[in-house]
Amino acid sequence: MAGQRVEIDGGIMEGGGQILRVSTALSCLLGLPLRVQKIRAGRSTPGLRPQHLSGLEMIRDLCDGQLEGAEIGSTEITFTPEKIKGGTHTADTKTAGSVCLLLQVSMPCVLFAASPSELRLKGGTNAEMAPQIDYTLMVFKPIAEKFGFKFDCDVKMRGYYPKGGGEVIIRMSPVKQLNPINLTDRGTVTKIYGRTFVAGVLPFKIAKDMAAAAVRCIRKEIRDLYVNIQPVQEPKEQAFGNGNGIIIVAETSTGCLFAGSSLGKRGISADKVGIEAAEMLLGNLRHGGAVDEYLQDQLIIFMALASGVSRVKTGPITLHTQTAIHFAEQLTKAKFTVNKSEDEDDSSKETYIIECQGIGMTNPHL
């Protein structure tokens, strides 16, 4: 069924690994042969990095496809997909490359596999420039499951920058079709909770200080809610290397979830890490949207595949989201519209409605 190859310009818009993830996942799902050029062309280290390579190899293995040009530093690949199959698949970035980004590329594909899948993903669980695994569990999972699928995520080992060494196991069953979602009613914030962690040789006091600083920062703006941030010492047998960080989640009366997170780095005080996460959360609560800025782009591919019209209210549209929409439209023929919210409550804010008429992808195996 190999028709005309779809040509993708990997250098436009967000211009990074995200273009690769969206386009190869959709290529795999739709059986479209693909050529991606100018991969990460504008980055300081252009071309494929280890984590992108492991994501590509995983997609190839998921569908017994053919992949050419896939090596570190390569700026052009061609991919010819075949049938998606279930079973056990392993992807190892061999670095602190994010397991959450590996999950982003593989999850849409295994939803349309012939049988249940187990994905063993190795790398960084709490890495820079990517969602933390805690975000995936606490925010992405409950919202993504509104599309009508379930997944189980078992964190075997946490891994931090620069060593990686983490491992998560994802188990999920295929679905016949995805339901559209409607996330437009944000409700009021009812709960704020989270965790701060230290791993390895770092003193527990850092976890307590991050939590205390974050609580103080949130209290200035939200006075009437108890903020429950638990400091945790990651057990030795479940964490590889040294790391510290924080995630804080706000839950609303309608089940919307927003987060702020931050990772410790050498030379940055615990207070500063806590405050950064708190400010990120508060920023995500100010714009009036029903999802935070990190969930925005992660929902696009599912909206494109769902049957029916999905609507999501968001704050300012991120470049990642614009990029995901562009490539989802190019590959799937789903129709997206982005309009400023008409609600009078939102008139003073940067609030938008992303609407998508999905293609109603059905699983041929079920």
- Going by the DSSP 8-state scheme, the letter that residue 304 receives in this structure is H
Q: Where in the chain is the domain with CATH 3.30.360.20?
A: 189-287
Q: What tens digit of pLDDT does each residue of 5-35 get? A: 999 999 999 999 999 999 999 999 999 999 9
What percentage of the chain exceeds 90 in pLDDT? 95
The span from the CA of 141 to the CA of 119, in Å, is 15
φ and ψ at 233, to 5 degrees? -100, 115
Helix (H) or strand (E) holding 92: strand 87-92
Q: Say how many residues make up the chain.
A: 366
Q: What tens digit of pLDDT does each residue of 251-292 get? A: 999 999 999 999 999 999 999 999 999 999 999 999 999 999
- Interhelix angle 319-332/293-305, nearest 10 degrees: 10
Q: Measuring CA to CA, how many Å separate 8 from each of 13, 24, 35, 56?
A: 12, 10, 6, 15
CATH code at 189-287? 3.30.360.20
Residues taking part in catalysis? 320
Q: Burial level of 154, CB count in 10 A (0-12/13-18/19+)?
A: exposed
The span from the CA of 305 to the CA of 211, in Å, is 39
Q: With 90 as the cut, is the pLDDT of residue 348 above it?
A: no
Q: Is position 295 annotated in a ligand binding site? A: yes
Q: What tens digit of pLDDT does each residue of 118-157 get? A: 999 999 999 988 999 999 999 999 999 999 999 999 999 9
- Number of CB atoms found within 10 A of residue 103's CB: 23
Q: What tens digit of pLDDT does each residue of 63-122 get? A: 999 999 999 999 999 999 999 999 999 999 999 999 999 999 999 999 999 999 999 999
Q: Give the DSSP letter string of 32-69.
A: --EEEESTTTTSSS-S--HHHHHHHHHHHHHTT-EEES
CB 177 within 8 A of CB 362: yes
Q: Is position 37 annotated in a ligand binding site? A: no
pLDDT on residue 3:
65
Q: Is position 352 annotated in a ligand binding site? A: no
Class of domain 6-183+291-359: alpha beta
Residue type, 236: K
Q: What tens digit of pLDDT does each residue of 208-267 get? A: 999 999 999 999 999 999 999 999 999 999 999 999 999 999 999 999 999 999 999 999
CB 100 within 8 A of CB 131: yes
pLDDT on residue 346:
78
**What is the average per-residue pLDDT within 189-195?**
98
Q: With 80 as the cut, is the pLDDT of residue 365 above it?
A: yes
Q: Where in the chain is the domain with CATH 3.65.10.20?
A: 6-183+291-359
| Report field, pTM of the whole predicted structure over 0.95 | yes
How many whole angstroms from its chain centre is CA 157?
Answer: 19
